[in-house]
Amino acid sequence: MKIYSVLLLVVLASFSQLIKAQAIQDTAIVQIETNDGNEFMGEIVSEDALKIVLKTEKLGEITISKNDIKSQIKVNAQQIKGGKFWFDNPQATRYFWASNAYGLKKGEGYYQNIYVLWNQVAYGITDNFSIGGAVVPLFLFGGGPTPVFITPKFSIPIQKEKFNIGGGAIIGTVLGESESSFGIVYGLTTFGTRDNNVSLSLGYGFAGEEWVQSPLISVSGLFRLSSRFYFLTENYFINAGGEGVGEIGLGGRWIIKKAALDFIFAIPIIPDMGTFLVIPAIGFTIPFGNN
């Protein structure tokens, strides 16, 4: 009899924990932005056709008129850290310019602009394959040739959110010129999550039917420091004419709503250059589709 009593208590306790876990999972946590620019995050206590009662951590229960709501999004509990909402990485598949081994999901896409000159769009055909295109619109600056590119990429998760491999190509031509194909074919590995990772890439460039003899090696990293800011680094090395040349890039990513503002300071590493040079660059990424 005692054994059955113990078993019954265990079963009841298990159901109690299951019900509590389900209640936590079903709790509706939302972030609301009002028309005057204020943002509130909390649990919906009640809601009707005119208003929402929200239980917040700092202000307690507040009532918001639905006429004052500009946007309302459901928040994943994992995105709340220290009472603050951590936005999704709007450009989790790239660093400043270089790619990592994470891929766009089916239906996701982005537009990226760097210094007006580089304009790129990419779209996820499947969860493992994306296709994109880019243009450098030199015709906006007094005419001249216009380089265009296609950018296929595949990614394969080996261990979810820990280790990915991938590869792709940047294949370009110049409109109005014949025999002008050029680009690079690359393979890469990424260690870490979409928020904190390091990638190693190896690529071979070509022009026409000629391939370079030495690979372009890239080591890049992305590290989240706060709810809106990442530190990023993007570095390149190649053996050119028997001498090693490269570039060290240090910068960051600032999340503005769903978009990303990237900046980087590139430092060329060239033997006997004789001077220290820092080249700043800035880029902007806007996601679209299922993001």
pLDDT(84) > 80: no
Q: What is the dihedral of CA 198, 125, 118, 174, to 10 degrees?
A: 120
Place of tokens 């946590």: 29
Tell me, yes or no, whether 103 lies in a domain.
Answer: no
pLDDT-based confidence at residue 224 (cuts at 50, 70, 90): very high
The verdict on 163 and 198 lying in the same domain is: yes
Q: Do both 175 and 223 map to the same domain?
A: yes
Instruction: Tell me the CATH number at 260.
Output: 2.40.160.40
160/211 same-domain check: yes
* Confidence label for 249 from pLDDT (cuts 50, 70 and 90): very high
Once rounded to an integer, what is the mean pLDDT over residues 145-169? 94
**Are residues 62 and 195 both part of a single domain?**
no
C-alpha–C-alpha distance, residues 69 and 76, integer Å: 20
**Do residues 184 and 78 both lie within one domain?**
no
- 47 and 139 together in one domain: no
The number of folded domains in the chain is 2
Q: Which domain holds residue 171?
A: 108-289
Closest CA to 56 of 91, 85, 23, 78: 85
What is the C-alpha separation between 202 and 237, in angstroms, rounded? 10
Q: Is residue 186 part of a domain?
A: yes
71 plus 210 within the same structural domain: no
- Pick from 70, 85, 100: which residue ends a domain? 85
Residue 12 covered by a domain: no
Reported pTM: 0.75
- Could you tell me if residue 9 is inside a domain? no
173 within some domain: yes
- Predicted local distance difference test score (pLDDT) of residue 18: 39
Q: Do 36 and 144 share a domain, yes or no?
A: no
Q: Quick check: 12 pLDDT over 70?
A: no
Is 41 within the bounds of a domain?
yes
Q: Are 195 and 260 in a shared domain?
A: yes
What would the mean pLDDT of 123-151 be, rounded to a whole number?
Answer: 89
Domain shared by 76 and 115, yes or no: no
Whether 56 and 197 share a structural domain? no
Q: Are residues 275 and 137 in the same domain?
A: yes
Mean pLDDT of 242-265: 92
Sign of CA dihedral 224, 108, 148, 153: positive
Q: Is residue 79 scored above 80 in pLDDT?
A: no
Q: Judging by beta carbons within 10 Å of its beta carbon (0-12, 13-18, 19+), is residue 41 exposed, middle or buried?
A: buried
Question: In CATH, what number is assigned to the domain containing residue 72?
Answer: 2.30.30.100
What phi-psi label fits residue 86: left (phi over 0), alpha (psi between -120 and 50 degrees) or beta? beta
Q: Is 17 a member of any domain?
A: no
Phi, psi dihedrals of residue 104, rounded to the nearest 5°: -65, 145
Is position 68 within any domain?
Answer: yes
Helix, strand, coil percentages, rounded to 5, for the chain:
10, 55, 30
